[in-house]
Structure 1
Amino acid sequence: MYRWGLTPWERYGKAAAGSIAALLDREEAERSRPLGRALDVGCGRGQYTPELARRGWEATGVDYVPAAIEAARSKGVADVTYVVGDATDLVAAGLGTFDFFLDIGCFQGFDAGGRHAVGRGISALANPGATILMLAFGPSRLRTWAGGVSQGEVTAAFPGWTLVAVDPAQTEGLGWPMNRTSPRWYRLSRS
């Protein structure tokens, strides 16, 4: 999608910056400082990873696309680590453990087997008390093109986690047809 310039997740990040900031504020309000380690799963060109570092997280971004990771690194943001790695095999990337996982549109793009692999990988890297904040489209007729998951599919991929909150996501900035996919923010906590 990078080759064709189709990166709606980047456009969304700009349009929904305020609502994303509010969700991160909520996440951090329940923690003491230092915040700990955060993994931006499917970080792409590093749109959100620097914000995590700015907020006080020890931030790492991981993505499968080497050109995206190179673009993220080229921004020269200090205190951020970027790693080429597969979200369905996070353990193999040698990332260590984390207290917080941010996923803006990665998980939703996998089939059931891939989603369960992401869930196993995140679970293997999660410290006790870790949380996940995930943006995902709901299932729709566009699922084969845009991805999308149901609440049941999210919870099935993360056994041993508690679904803490499900909030509708802002659709402004997504554009048609993604703005018709009923996106949701899922927050899960490691039980």
Structure 2
Amino acid sequence: KAIDITGQRFGRLVAIEPISMRARGGHIFWLCECDCGVVKSVRSASLRGGRTRSCGCLQLEIVKVTGTKSKKDLEGNVFGRLVAIKPTKKRMTKSIVWLCECVCGNLAFVPSGQLVSGHTKSCGCLKKEVVAEMGRARRNLPDEAYILYPKEEKRIAVYLTDQYVKRMLTKHGIDNNQITPELIELKRLSIISHRELKKTKEVLNELL
């Protein structure tokens, strides 16, 4: 049974209420308010174990005063779609690189500075989703113009209209008057299966 920590203080954090998100292993997350006013989601075990004591502001203050980073201050903190699991021995631009788990299930190594600043919020899945949505809106195309590949909870959109495929073929040196419906379909299949254009030409030559 989950332990009720509502109203309890953990360093600079006060537990407000549990949220629906769960980490690997079913760990519960609590919505907490920091003394600085920031509201963060933190893993219950990290709060009760004393590993997370602030929203990240404490770490920044320690850096300013001592020039060193607190390795345990980020553990269990949620940064966008990422949960900080543990620090590693890696360093990037003088920042400790943390092993993080994304809500999509992927693991990512992210410098602490990028987590605290909000520069990195996912393993990369968020950017792909945003780019796909922007592309769809910019071209004002129906959903049928996209083939979606589910990978865990991610969806990668591949633009496969005839116009796009023709542009790809001309980019690789094929004249417009040489482009046939058969070649367009073969190129479309090569994009789906990640085959190179050379293989598409070989298949086309065999058909001809």
Is the TM value for this pair above 0.5? no
- Higher RCO (CA 8 Å, separation ≥ 6 residues): 1
- The structure in which a higher percent of residues are strand is 2
Report the TM-score, using the length of structure 2 for normalisation. 0.25
Report the TM-score, using the length of structure 1 for normalisation. 0.27
Q: Which structure has the larger Rg?
A: 2
